[in-house]
Structure 1
Amino acid sequence: MSRFRILLRQIWTIARRDFVATVFTPTFLIFLLAPVVMGSFGAIGGLGADAAQKGADAKTRIVAIVDPARSADIAALDLRLRQLYRNPDEAPPLLQTEAPGADPAAQARARFDDTRIDVVAVLYGPLATPQVLHTPTSARAGDYLAALAEQMLRADRSGVAPLSTVTKTIVSRRTSSLRGANASGFFAVFALFFLTLLLAGQVVSGVAEERGNKVIEVLAAAVPLESVFFGKLLGTFGVAVLFLLFWGTLLSQATLLLPPTFATGLSGLTPTIGLPLFTLLFFAYFTMAYMLLGAVFLGVGAQAASVREIQLLSLPITLIQVAMFGLGAVAVSKPDSWISTFAAIFPLSSPYYMAGRAAQSASLGVHVLALLWQALWVAIFIAIGVRAFRRGVLQSGSGSFRWKRRRAVQENAVDMGVS
C-alpha cells in the first residue's frame, strides 16, 4: 500500500471515529434541534414586539381639520394615495377628519394632548395655505398631510374621480435585477456566517476535551498528527453536512406552507449566476469557510487544557467570525473597491465575500481560483496547528527544527562518552 493511501486511510479512520462519536449520542439530538430553540425564542420576542407595535399603530392617527363638505372628498383622495404604499408599515397612520371650531389653531394643538389616541400630525386652515403640526419623529406624516392638501386643490380643478383608465400587466425579468443580485449576495454572506457560527465552534470543544483526557496523545502516538487534525476536521464537517441535510430537507418542504407574500419576497433573491450553480458554489464556500475556521479552531483548541480555557477562547473566536461577516458584507456592497479585493484575498473572509460575489457575477474562473486559494490556506492552518501542538503540548518540536534536536542528541552522546 502506497504512503498516500495509508495517509488517506488514517484520515478516514479518525474522521469516522469522530463522526460516530458525535452523531450516535443523545446530545446530538439536542444539537440538531438547537435552531428550534433559537427560533422559538426569536419568534416569541418577535411576536411580542409585533403585538406591541400593532397595538400602538391601531391608536395612531393623523388629523385633517377641514370643512365637513370636504370630508368625503379628502377621505376618497386619502384612500387612493394609500394604494401607492405596498408595505403597510411604510404607510402613514389612519386619517381622521374633523370640523373646524372657533379657534382651529388651538383645536389642532389640543389634539396632541388627547390620551385616547396618539395624534402625530394635524392639518388645519385653508387648503391653499394649510398649517401642519407634527411631532419631532413624524415629519413624514406631516409631509403626507401637505401632499394631501395639494392634491385636493388639484382635484378641485379636475374632479376627484380618476381621469385615466390604466391596464396593468405583470412582466417577468429574463435576467436577475441588480437589487435581487445584491440582496442574494448579502443573504449568502449572512447565511454563511450563521452556519459557521452555529457549527464550527464544536471543533474547539472536541479537540480540547480529548486533550484533557489524553486521548489525542494516544492518537498522535499511533498516527501522524497531520492525519489526526485533518481527520477530526473532516469528522466534524460530516456532522455539519448531516445538520444541513436535515434542516435543508425540512425547510424545502416548509416553503410549501408559507404565505404567498413570503414566497414572493423569496422570489426577489435572484442570483446572477443562476440558482442551481449558486447553490453548488454556496456549499463549496461553506465547506471552505468551515475548513478554514475549523483548522484555526483546531490549533487554538488543542492548546486549551480545561473547560475554563475553552470558555475564555469562545469570545475571541466569536469576534473573529463577526469581523469576517462584517468585512464580507461591506465588500459585497462595494464589489469594485479595494476592500472587496482585500476580502477576497484574506483567507478567513474570502469564503464570505466570494459566496456573495457568486450571486452578483456570472464569472466562474475567479471562483475556481478562490477555492484553490482557500484550500491552500486550510493546509497551512492545519500545518501551523500541528506544529504548535507538537511544540506547546507534546514538547517535541517539529519540522525544520529536527536537525537541531538530532545534533543535540549527538552532542549529548559525545559528552557522555567523554565523561
Structure 2
Amino acid sequence: MRQGSGRLSVLAAAWVVARRDFTAILFSRSFFFFLLGPLFPAIIAVLAGSLGSRVDASQERPVLGVVMQAADAAALERARAQLAPALGEDLPRLVVLRRLAPGERYDARQALSSHKASAAAILTGTPAAPVLTGPEGLIQAWGGPVAMLSAQVHSGAALSYPAVALQPVVRSSAAERKGRFATAQGAQTLLFLLTMMLAGMVLSNLVEEKGNKIIEVLAAAVPMDAVFLGKLFAMLGVSLVGIATWAAAGGLLWLGGGISPERLPDPAVGWPLLIGLGVIYFAMAYLLLGSVFLAIGSMATTVREVQTLSMPVTMAQLMVFFFASFAMTQPGSAVEIAAVLVPFSSPFAMLARAARDPALLPHIMAIGWQVLWVALLVRGGARLFRSRVMKSGPGGRAKPRRIRLRGFGR
C-alpha cells in the first residue's frame, strides 16, 4: 500500500530495501570471502577445545562414591592413601557418600538415577565382596583399581584380589548433568560467536553507503524507518544464509570424518528442538545487537568513528556473555532469572537452559519477552537513525528531494 504522498508505506519500502541489500550482498564477490571467515575461528576453537579437554580431564575427574559400613569405608580410604604414591592418577577419587548402619540396605541403582547423585559410580558391599554400580564403560575401567584397593585392605591376610561384581546402569545423573552442561556451554558460546561476528556487518554496510551518498538517495525515495528495518532484516537474512552454508559444510565434514552422533551429549529438549530454538534465539540476539549497531553507525561518518563508537558496545556484549555463562552455573537462582530478564543476555541464558531443562513453557514466555524488546529497540534505533542520518550540517534536517528510484514504486 502507498501513503498519501505517493511513496511506499514503511513496511513495503522496508521489504524493497531488504530485497535490494540481500541480493546485492548475496551475489557479490565479497560474500564468498565472508563465508571463508569462520575457518580461522574454527581452527582456534578446535585448538582451544583440545586444550580445554586436557584441563577438564586433569581437574574434573569422575568421583567414585563409597557406601559401606563406617569401618569398611575408612579401610578403603586408608588403602587408597597407601597406594596413591605409587599409582597416582590410576586410582579413582573416592568420596564416602554414606556410612551404613549394621543391616541397612542401599539401592545404588536408584541413587544414580536420581538427580541428587554427585558420583559417577557407587561402590557398595564390603572390601571382600565389592559391588561396583555405574555406567558400563566406567565400571569396567574401574574394576581393576577397585580390586587392588580391596586387596590392600586385606594385605595381611591370605585373601587375593577379590572379584568385583559389576552392575551397569544406562547413565548416571551426574554424568548426564555434566554432558548437558557441556552441551549448554557449547551452544551458548557458538551463539555468542555467531552474533558478534555477523552483527558487525550492518556497520560496515551503513558506513559505506553513507560515504557514497546512497543513504541520501534512499532517504529521498523511502521513509528512513524503512531503510533502517530493511537493512537490519536484510543482514539477518544474509547471516542465516551464511550459517546454513557453514552448517551444511560442517555436516559433510562430519559425515566424511565418520563421527558418530552418539558421542555428543544429548540436550534436555533433544537436538531438533535445540537447533530450532538456536535459530530463534540467534535472530533475537542479532536484531537486538544489530539495532544498536545501526544506531551507532548513523552517528559515525568514518570507519575510525565506527570503531570508536562500537567498542563500548562490543565490550558490553562480552560482559553480557560472561554474565549469561555465570548464570548457567546457578540454575534456579536470582542470577539466572536476572540473565533471562535482561534482553541482551536472555537469548544466551535461555539457549543454555534448553540444553539442561526439558521444560518448554519458559521458552515461549522468553521468546515473547525478547520480541517485545526487539520491537522497542528497533523502533528507538530507527528514530535515532532517522534523526541523525537526515541531518545535513548545522542547519538541521536536509530538505527532502523528490527522486524516483527504479524498484521503489512508480
What is the TM-score of this pair, normalised by structure 2?
0.65
Matching residue of 2:90: 82
State the AA in 1 paired with 2:370. Answer: Q
Distance 2:35 2:257 in 1: 23
Alignment CA distance shift 1:80-1:335 (3 Å): closer
Distance 1:50 1:278 in 2: 23
Matching residue of 2:212: 213
Q: What does 1:14-413 correspond to in 2, within 5 Å? A: 14-40=17-43, 82=90, 84=92, 154=153, 156-158=155-157, 161-167=160-166, 169=168, 171=170, 177-258=176-257, 265-266=263-264, 268=265, 270-395=266-391
Note the residue ranges of structure 2 that are not aligned, 5 or more in a row.
55-81, 94-145, 398-410
Q: CA RMSD in A?
A: 3.9
SS at match of 2:38: helix
Tell whether the 8 Å contact from 2:15 to 2:230 is kept in structure 1 after alignment. Answer: yes
Distance 1:373 1:49 in 2: 35
SS at match of 1:272: coil
Distance 1:46 1:182 in 2: 15
SS at match of 2:155: helix
State the AA in 1 paired with 2:229. Answer: F
Distance 1:380 1:37 in 2: 36
State the AA in 2 paired with 1:27. Answer: S
Tell whether the 8 Å contact from 1:347 to 1:377 is kept in structure 2 after alignment. Answer: yes
State the AA in 2 paired with 1:369. Answer: M
Matching residue of 2:120: none
Deviation readout 1:377-407 (Å, 9 max, x if unpaired):
22222222222233333239xxxxx9xxxxx
Distance 2:358 2:175 in 1: 11
Distance 2:89 2:330 in 1: 36
Deviation readout 1:65-105 (Å, 9 max, x if unpaired):
xxxxxxxxx99x967972759xxxxxxxxxxxxxxxxxxxx
State the AA in 2 paired with 1:376. Answer: L
Following TM superposition, by how much is the alpha carbon of 1:265 offset from its aligned partner in structure 2, in angstroms?
Answer: 4.7
Deviation readout 1:104-143 (Å, 9 max, x if unpaired):
xxxxxxxxxxxxxxxxxxxxxxxxxxxxxxxxxxxxxxxx
Alignment CA distance shift 1:242-1:159 (3 Å): farther
Matching residue of 1:54: none
State the AA in 2 paired with 1:328. Answer: A
Distance 2:244 2:232 in 1: 18
State the AA in 2 paired with 1:342. Answer: A
Distance 2:186 2:46 in 1: 20
Following TM superposition, by how much is the alpha carbon of 1:316 offset from its aligned partner in structure 2, in angstroms?
Answer: 1.8
Deviation readout 1:174-221 (Å, 9 max, x if unpaired):
999333333332222211111101111111111122122221121122
Matching residue of 2:406: none
State the AA in 1 paired with 2:24. Answer: A
Distance 2:245 2:387 in 1: 40
Following TM superposition, by how much is the alpha carbon of 1:236 offset from its aligned partner in structure 2, in angstroms?
Answer: 0.6
State the AA in 1 paired with 2:22. Answer: F
SS at match of 1:280: helix
Alignment CA distance shift 1:278-1:153 (3 Å): closer
Distance 2:187 2:180 in 1: 10
State the AA in 1 paired with 2:290. Answer: G
Tell whether the 8 Å contact from 1:299 to 1:382 is kept in structure 2 after alignment. Answer: no
Tell whether the 8 Å contact from 1:334 to 1:340 is kept in structure 2 after alignment. Answer: yes
Following TM superposition, by how much is the alpha carbon of 1:359 offset from its aligned partner in structure 2, in angstroms?
Answer: 2.0
Matching residue of 1:8: 11
Following TM superposition, by how much is the alpha carbon of 1:274 offset from its aligned partner in structure 2, in angstroms?
Answer: 2.2
The alignment-based identity, stated in percent, is: 36
Alignment CA distance shift 1:286-1:45 (3 Å): closer
Following TM superposition, by how much is the alpha carbon of 1:159 offset from its aligned partner in structure 2, in angstroms?
Answer: 6.3
Distance 2:209 2:351 in 1: 33
Deviation readout 1:257-307 (Å, 9 max, x if unpaired):
5576x85652x2x22222222221111111100111011111111111001
Distance 1:310 1:251 in 2: 33
SS at match of 2:359: coil
* Number of residue-to-residue matches in the alignment: 310
Alignment CA distance shift 1:243-1:159 (3 Å): farther
Higher-Rg member (1/2):
1
Alignment CA distance shift 1:157-1:234 (3 Å): same
Alignment CA distance shift 1:42-1:362 (3 Å): closer
Deviation readout 1:219-261 (Å, 9 max, x if unpaired):
122111121111101111111111111111122232335576x
Following TM superposition, by how much is the alpha carbon of 1:372 offset from its aligned partner in structure 2, in angstroms?
Answer: 2.0
